Amino acid sequence: MVHNFNAGPSILPHTVFEEASQAILNFNNTGLSILEIGHRTSLFEEVLNEAVSLVKELMKLDENKEVIFLHGGASTQFFQLPMNYLSKDKKAAYMDAGVWGTKAIKEAKRFGQVDVVASSKDRNYTYIPKDYAVPHEAVYFHYTTNNTIEGTQMHSIPNLSMPLVADMSSDILSREMDFNRFAFIYAGAQKNIGAAGVNLVVIDKKFLEKSSSTVPSMMDYKQHVSNGSMLNTPPVFAIYVCLLTLRWLKKMGGVAAIEKINQQKAGLLYDTLENIPLFHLPVAKEDRSLMNAVFTMNNEELEKKFLALCKAEGMVGIKGHRSVGGFRVSMYNALSLSSVEALVALIKDFGNKYA
């Protein structure tokens, strides 16, 4: 038995793997593989339409929102967004709360003025900045809802007047949120919604109108929207895996139901770690992520022993990101409570032996 705590690409529901495998051999009893059907056939159109409508339903989006699937992962949005909205005389505001936000800032600077209004770099990104002012001329405010590498998460939506833009790659559809408050949301699929190779984008119609019309076609949001994610060949299989995962989430009871389980999983793990002095939790308690729990030990030998034990017990993906060290346990939607319970049992045993 393997327990997959990988940070991304990461665990997906087992039924999704089964259904996706079947579709590679014989998609919907057509005698064709999903890998060999045309993207402009009704077969694929149905897949895309259902995926879009499930996103709208699960996120409770209003009629002012457009949903598209794009190539290039979240990292492409780091530059596609400012390419569309910034110029030398225009400014955007960014929060710098982790590695991914820093990368987004770097790319935005190529296209216009960037005001980094808040940063937690001073304490190695172990907290979320709270008090900051955003210049009202900013054309948008960009932040990362969940800092995948550092294990911090924004638990409320900033109350600002300018359009809100969020990179939700690692916590999309994991908790209830008023998604309609955002002008622009993007998320690489490989953490909570599907297979790598596709990016979910939700864009407000008014914000869409303000996007550039002089960028190359593949960078042009309006063209992607008016062509219904089919400006060119979309990542057909990756979108199909998203559809299967979205169906699974709906069957589980939707976002509210999965949020409860996510809280149980993270609560159990953090409570356990807090009660064993061997482990150290670097992140400010109020900013802890429900998706990625980061912890350390101040003994390298014991860290190695712990990792070896995890490996022996089939616990995969526990080693922390090279920039943070220690351990990181990712608990995305598809990870079951029983996997966290198994890890917690191992942690307790380890604590009893070495504390």
Listed ranges 11-19, 68-76, 157-165, 249-257: which one lies at the site for ligand PLP (CB under 6 A): 68-76
Whole-number Å distance between alpha carbons of 248 and 12: 10
Instruction: Tally Cβ neighbours within 10 Å of residue 33.
Output: 13
Instruction: Note if 251 is an active site residue.
Output: no
Q: Which span sits near ligand PLP by CB under 6 A: 71-79, 115-123, 224-232, 247-255?
A: 71-79
CB 58 within 8 Å of CB 250:
yes
Q: Does residue 170 touch ligand PLP according to CB under 6 A?
A: yes
Shortest gap between Cβ of 198 and ligand PLP (angstroms)?
9
Judging by beta carbons within 10 Å of its beta carbon (0-12, 13-18, 19+), is residue 131 exposed, middle or buried? exposed
Distance CA 243, CA 241 (A): 5
Interface residue with ligand PLP, options 69, 100, 221, 248 (CB under 6 A) = 100
Q: Does 8 bind ligand PLP (CB under 6 A)?
A: yes
Bridge partners (DSSP) of residue 65 are 204
Give the range of 52-60, 67-75, 105-113, 157-165 binding ligand PLP by CB under 6 A.
67-75
Question: Does residue 289 bind ligand PLP (CB under 6 A)?
Answer: no
In the region spanning residues 121 to 150, those forming contacts with ligand PLP, defined by CB under 6 A, are: 144, 148
Size of the site for ligand PLP (CB under 6 A): 11
Contact call for residue 152 and ligand PLP (CB under 6 A): no
What is the rounded distance in angstroms from the CA atom of residue 85 to the CA atom of residue 206? 13
Catalytic residue flag (residue 191): yes
Question: φ and ψ at 113, to 5 degrees?
Answer: -80, 140
6 binds ligand PLP (CB under 6 A): no
CB-closest chain residue to ligand PLP: 73
115 tagged catalytic: no
70 φ, ψ (degrees, to nearest 5): -125, 160
Say how many residues make up the chain: 355
Q: How many Å apart are CA 8 and CA 314, to the nearest integer?
A: 18
Q: Which residues are catalytic?
A: 100, 167, 191
Residues forming the site for ligand PLP (CB under 6 A): 8, 73-75, 100, 144, 148, 167, 169-170, 188
